[in-house]
Amino acid sequence: MDFSDFFPVWNDLKETERRLLTSAATELNVFKGAVISDGKDACSGIMLIESGQIRAYTTSPEGKEITLYRLLERDICLFSASCMMNGINFDVTLAAEKDCRVILIPSDAYKHVMSESAPLANFTNEVLASRFSDVMWLIEQIMWKSFDKRLAAFLTEESAIEESDTLHITHEIIGNHLGSPREVVTRMLKYFAAEGLVELARGSIRITDPKRLSALS
C-alpha cells in the first residue's frame, strides 16, 4: 500500500515533506491482543492500518471498559501519537483485535511536517473530527438508546465485520464493548434467544434472524 492511499493530500505535500515521512516510517506487525498504547502520553506515532483491526476504548478506574470506535484497513490511528496533539487530555487504549500490518510514522517526524504543512495539518484535523464524530455517536447511543437496541446494533455490526452469522465472543467481552456488566448482557441475550433472534451456545452466538435483529437496532 502507498502513503497516498491513506493521505488524500499526499500530492499537496512538498517533496521534502513526503521524503521525511516515508524515510521515518517503518512497517510492522501487531499481533492480535497486543495493547498498542494506553494513554494521553502515547507517543509511538501515527499508524496507518494496512490490514487488521484496532479497538479504541476507555477504562474506568475500576477497570470497566467501553469501546469508543474501531479502526479497520485504510484507517489512520491518531491516538497512538496523542503526545503530539495539544489539547488532548484523555486516555484512549488501543488494542489489536486482529493481527495487524501497520505503517508507523514516528510522532516527531509527523509533528515536524504537520507544524509546517497546512495540508497535512488540515487533513489531521479531519481525521480527529472523524474520531470525534464516532465518540459523539457513542454518546447519543448511550444517552438515548435502550440497551436492547445497542446490543442488537453491536451484534449486527460484529456479524458484518466478521462476515459470519456465528460470533465467537463471550458475554463479558460484549459487556466490555458496551460498557455494561456481563449479567446485563446475558439477560438480554437470553431474551433475544427467546424471541428467536439468536441461538446461544458456549462461547458463541448465532444470529438466526438477522433482519429482525437489524430492525431492532
Nearest to 68 by CA among 176, 152, 153: 176
Kindly state the smallest distance separating residue 74's Cβ from a second copy, in Å.
Answer: 15
Task: For residues 8 and 22, give the distance between their C-alpha atoms in angstroms, rounded to a whole number.
Answer: 15
Shortest distance, position 89 Cβ to a second copy, whole Å:
4
Q: How far is the CB of 24 from a second copy (least distance, A)?
A: 18
Is residue 173 exposed (0-12), middle (13-18) or buried (19+ Cβ within 10 Å)?
A: middle
Q: Return the number of the residue (27 or 183) whose C-beta is nearest a second copy.
A: 183
Place of cell 484496532: 54
Strand order in the sheet with 54-59: 35-38, 93-96, 54-59, 65-71
Cβ nearer to a second copy, comparing 117 with 159: 117
Torsion sign over Cα 12, 117, 101, 161: negative
DSSP 68-91: EEEE-TT-EE-GGGGGGSTT--S-
Closest CB to a second copy among 61 and 202? Answer: 61
Distance, CA of 180 to CA of 189 (rounded, Å): 13
| 9 DSSP 8-state letter | T
Least distance in Å: CB of 135 to a second copy? 6
CB of 201 to a second copy, least distance (A): 30
Query: Which residue lies nearer to a second copy by CB, 79 or 192?
Result: 79
**Nearer to a second copy (CB atom), residue 31 or residue 90:** 90
3-state secondary structure of 201: strand
- Which residues sit at the interface with a second copy, rule CB under 8 A? 58, 60-62, 64, 66, 68, 85-90, 114-118, 121-122, 124-133, 135-140, 142-144, 179
Distance of closest approach, residue 179 Cβ to a second copy, in angstroms: 5
Q: In terms of CB distance, is 135 or 193 closer to a second copy?
A: 135
